């Protein structure tokens, strides 16, 4: 009987832990200046471009003055015998100068792409996310939910 009660108690504990994990409640927030979003942001990329793979990553680096650099990278895995090697390939990169309009960020990149980004904040945790949507010079659309990956702003 004690074993059954212990099992039920353990199952109840797992249920409580699972139910206590809270999904962020993202709320749009106005960007007031470039310093408030300066740094390195990254996330998975989605696109209608057939050359983009499901595991391509987008990175956006913003400096204090609004200069930015956007990159798309692809991670490849090679297995040879008992060794696994991971490689990162730069697929695309371009620079731009952000403009702040109505609390949103936007830019036209030097190679013809364009992007708009909206800042979202989860009030409970304070976590921030940039939802970036863009279009390249060939008309393909891209989007990514970017989270801060570092505090150093190295865009020039």
The string of pLDDT tens digits covering residues 65-114 is: 999 999 988 877 778 888 887 777 777 889 999 999 999 999 999 988 89
Residue 98, phi then psi, degrees to nearest 5: -75, 150
Q: Which of 133, 130, 123 is nearest to 103 (CA)?
A: 130
Question: What is d(CA 142, CA 128) in angstroms, rounded to the nearest whole number?
Answer: 20
The string of pLDDT tens digits covering residues 113-146 is: 899 999 999 999 999 999 999 998 888 999 999 9
Q: What is the SS3 assignment for 149?
A: strand
pTM for this predicted structure: 0.75
């Amino acid at each position: 009987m004690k074993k059954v009660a212990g099992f039920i108690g353990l199952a109840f504990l797992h249920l409580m832990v699972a139910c206590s994990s809270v999904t962020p409640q993202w709320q749009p927030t106005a960007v007031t200046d470039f310093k408030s979003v300066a740094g390195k942001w990254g996330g998975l990329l989605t696109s209608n471009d057939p050359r983009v793979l499901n595991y391509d990553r987008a990175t956006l680096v913003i400096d204090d003055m609004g200069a930015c650099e956007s990159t798309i990278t692809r991670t490849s895995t090679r297995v040879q015998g008992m060794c696994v090697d991971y490689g990162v390939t730069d697929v695309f990169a371009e620079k731009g100068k952000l403009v702040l309009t109505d609390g949103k960020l936007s830019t036209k990149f030097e190679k013809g792409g364009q992007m708009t980004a909206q800042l979202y904040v989860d009030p409970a945790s304070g976590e921030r996310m940039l939802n970036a949507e863009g279009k390249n010079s060939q008309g393909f659309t891209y989007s990514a939910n970017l989270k801060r990956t570092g505090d150093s702003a190295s865009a020039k």
